[in-house]
């Protein structure tokens, strides 16, 4: 008899929330099991790296590198790792065997929709509010890329690499073929939708808009890539292109998201995760729950929405506390004179590196003379 439910509480805290840190510590147990487990360790590690890199984009131009080096290991340990366990761990909070997973159904997240995209962008939002906007944020009228060809090159490389993300997670040849097609269709649809939205809003379609549409489609399809049909991938991608085109223009008060991390990635990740409950399938090749628009009930949609809410609350609150603690102790923001010096070198803050060409040319001349 356990009238107070102490066993359940211990199980909930020790397994559902955090797992067992001593289990396979430093991956030593993987050598005793199978060497292919080490591949998954490395594969998962790359996503932990990517997640922190995404956060940094929102606070560019004003964050201290020393504070960032302290923030990253703390945040990965206390926020990212527990959330990854909730979504994929045995008995994690949001899956079968976990408290919420058993109550409302297991959340579906094929490839890092909740753990990377939503987690990173909610963390970015928290840090943006802690650190505050750039010193001349009010003067910025338009963010301009300083090198459009590099933007397009980067988006192309990213799209190519994303096939590795989504296909690397596949568990069968059927899943590989579906993931490959959906990873191609959703970003393509988002690209077209973004450009049409720019045109409908009275703007000229731009190459940077095309690149942004690609990213929106990639982010949106990631959690749903193995759970929607190709037609669903097109719909999902097109809608992500439209809503993100509007979302990146939302900047007010202290909300200075330098590289549109929240407006682009968070919105697309949120949409892609919830869309599974609309026209996705828990197992597209078998039986299971399905979305309300493809003949299913509300079970899958409820599980997805609950997972989104839990992820949002936990990530934002925990990150805000960590960021605020660092900011109030050693300071998370560079000194005002350091930030002002950058503005004096570069001129208007909305011109980016475009006005640094003279400095760059002079540096190249000096470097050439040293090598002569």
Task: Look at 49-63, 74-88, 130-144 and tell me which has the smallest mean pLDDT.
Answer: 130-144
Say what percent of the chain tops pLDDT 90. 42
Q: 3-state SS of 186-242?
A: HHHHHHHHHHHHHHHCCCCCCHHHHHHHHHHHHHHHCCCCCCCCHHHHHHHHHHHHH
Q: Of 138, 237, 152, which Cα lies nearest the Cα of 191?
A: 237
Decide which of 11 and 279 is more confident.
279
Give the confidence band of 365 by pLDDT, cuts at 50, 70, 90. very low
Domain 6-342 of CATH type 1.10.4080.10: no
According to the model, what pLDDT value does residue 155 have?
A: 92
Q: Give the tens place of pLDDT for each residue, 167-184.
A: 888 878 888 999 999 999
Phi, psi of 290 (to 5 degrees): -140, 165
pTM: 0.81
Which pLDDT does position 213 carry in this prediction? Answer: 95
How would residue 263 be classed by pLDDT, with cut points 50, 70 and 90? confident
Q: Please give the Cα distance from 283 to 155 (Å, whole number).
A: 30
Domain boundaries, the chain: 6-342
**Alpha-carbon dihedral sign for residues 133, 135, 140, 144:** negative
Residue 342 vs residues 90, 137, 254, 255, 338: alpha-carbon distances, Å: 48, 13, 20, 21, 7
Name, in order, each residue with C-beta under 8 angstroms of 190's C-beta and a sequence gap of 6 or more. Answer: 213, 214, 216, 217, 218, 220, 237, 238, 240, 241, 244
Query: What count of residues does the chain have?
Result: 372
């Amino acid at each position: 008899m356990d009238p107070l439910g102490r066993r359940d509480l211990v199980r909930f805290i020790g397994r559902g929330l955090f797992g067992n840190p001593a289990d396979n510590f430093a991956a030593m147990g993987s050598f005793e099991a199978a060497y292919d487990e080490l591949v998954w360790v490395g594969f998962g590690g790359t996503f932990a790296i990517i997640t922190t890199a995404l956060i940094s984009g929102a606070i560019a131009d004003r964050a201290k590198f020393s504070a960032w080096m302290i923030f990253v290991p703390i945040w990965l340990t206390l926020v990212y790792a527990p959330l990854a366990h909730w979504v994929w761990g045995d008995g994690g909070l949001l899956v079968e065997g976990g408290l919420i997973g058993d109550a409302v159904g297991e959340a579906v997240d094929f490839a890092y929709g909740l753990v990377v995209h939503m987690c990173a962008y909610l963390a970015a939002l928290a840090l943006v509010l802690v650190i505050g906007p750039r010193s001349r944020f009010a003067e910025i009228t338009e963010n301009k890329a300083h090198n459009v060809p590099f933007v397009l090159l980067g988006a192309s490389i990213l799209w190519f690499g994303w096939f590795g993300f989504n296909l690397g997670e596949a568990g069968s040849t059927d899943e590989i073929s579906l993931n490959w097609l959906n990873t191609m269709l959703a970003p393509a649809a988002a690209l077209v939708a973004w450009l049409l939205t720019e045109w409908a809003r009275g703007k000229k379609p731009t190459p940077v808009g095309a690149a942004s549409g690609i990213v929106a489609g990639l982010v949106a399809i990631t959690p749903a890539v193995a759970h929607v049909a190709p037609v669903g991938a097109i719909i999902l991608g097109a809608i992500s292109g439209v809503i993100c085109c509007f979302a990146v223009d939302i900047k007010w008060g202290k909300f200075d998201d330098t590289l549109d991390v929240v407006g682009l990635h968070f919105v697309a990740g949120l949409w892609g995760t919830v869309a599974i409950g609309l026209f996705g399938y828990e197992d597209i090749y078998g039986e299971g729950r399905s979305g309300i628009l493809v003949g299913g009930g509300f079970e899958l949609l409820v599980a997805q929405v609950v997972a989104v809410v839990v992820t949002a609350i936990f990530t934002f609150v925990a990150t805000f506390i960590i960021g605020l603690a660092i900011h109030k102790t050693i300071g998370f923001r560079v000194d005002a004179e350091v930030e002002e010096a950058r503005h004096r070198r570069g001129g208007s803050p909305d011109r980016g590196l475009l006005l640094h060409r003279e400095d760059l040319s002079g540096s190249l001349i000096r470097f050439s003379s040293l090598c002569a």
